[in-house]
C-alpha cells in the first residue's frame, strides 16, 4: 500500500508568503531587482541603485535626496528621489533610456542605454568646487 503525504498545507503557507512578497511591489520588496515581478513575467521593469558621493576623503558616503530622472524613447519622464541610504528605484519601459542623477552642489551624471530587463545602476556624484 502506498503512503500519501500531505504537503498542501505547508505549500499553501509558502505560496501565500511568496504572493505577499510579490504584491509588495517593485523596489519596496526585499527581493533584488533581478527577482522582481517583471522577471517573473508580469510587471514593470525597474531601474534601481544607489547614489554615492564620489571622491570623498571618507570613502563614498550615500547621498540622500538626489533626483533621478528617467527619460524614455517617447520623451516621457519619470522621477525618483534617493532615500537616506542613497537608494532609488524607478519604473521603466523596454527600449532606449536616458537616466540622470542630480543634486545641488554636485555635478550631474547621465547614463544612456537600452533597457530590456530590470537593471541596477549606481551613480557616483562629484562635489562641485566652490
Burial of 83 per CB tally in 10 Å (0-12, 13-18, 19+)? middle
Say how many residues make up the chain. Answer: 130
The full set of domains in the chain, from first to last, is 8-125 (2.60.40.10)
Q: How confident is the model at residue 4 (pLDDT cuts 50, 70, 90)?
A: very low
Which tens digits make up the pLDDT trace of 12-71? 433 333 333 333 345 654 444 444 334 445 578 999 999 999 876 666 899 999 999 999
Provide the pLDDT for residue 118: 96
Mean pLDDT of all residues belonging to the chain: 77
User: How high is the pLDDT of residue 103?
Assistant: 97
Amino acid at each position: 500500500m502506498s503512503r500519501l503525504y500531505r504537503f498542501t498545507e505547508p505549500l499553501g503557507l509558502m505560496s501565500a508568503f511568496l504572493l505577499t512578497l510579490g504584491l509588495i511591489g517593485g523596489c519596496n520588496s526585499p527581493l533584488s531587482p533581478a527577482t522582481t515581478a517583471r522577471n517573473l513575467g508580469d510587471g514593470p521593469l525597474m531601474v534601481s541603485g544607489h547614489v554615492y558621493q564620489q571622491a570623498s576623503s571618507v570613502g563614498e558616503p550615500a547621498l540622500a535626496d538626489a533626483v533621478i530622472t528617467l527619460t524614455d524613447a517617447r520623451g516621457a519622464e519619470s522621477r525618483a528621489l534617493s532615500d537616506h541610504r542613497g537608494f532609488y528605484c524607478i519604473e521603466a519601459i523596454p527600449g532606449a533610456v536616458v537616466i540622470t542623477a542630480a543634486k545641488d552642489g554636485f555635478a550631474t551624471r547621465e547614463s544612456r542605454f537600452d533597457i530590456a530587463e530590470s537593471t541596477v545602476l549606481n551613480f557616483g556624484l562629484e562635489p562641485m568646487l566652490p
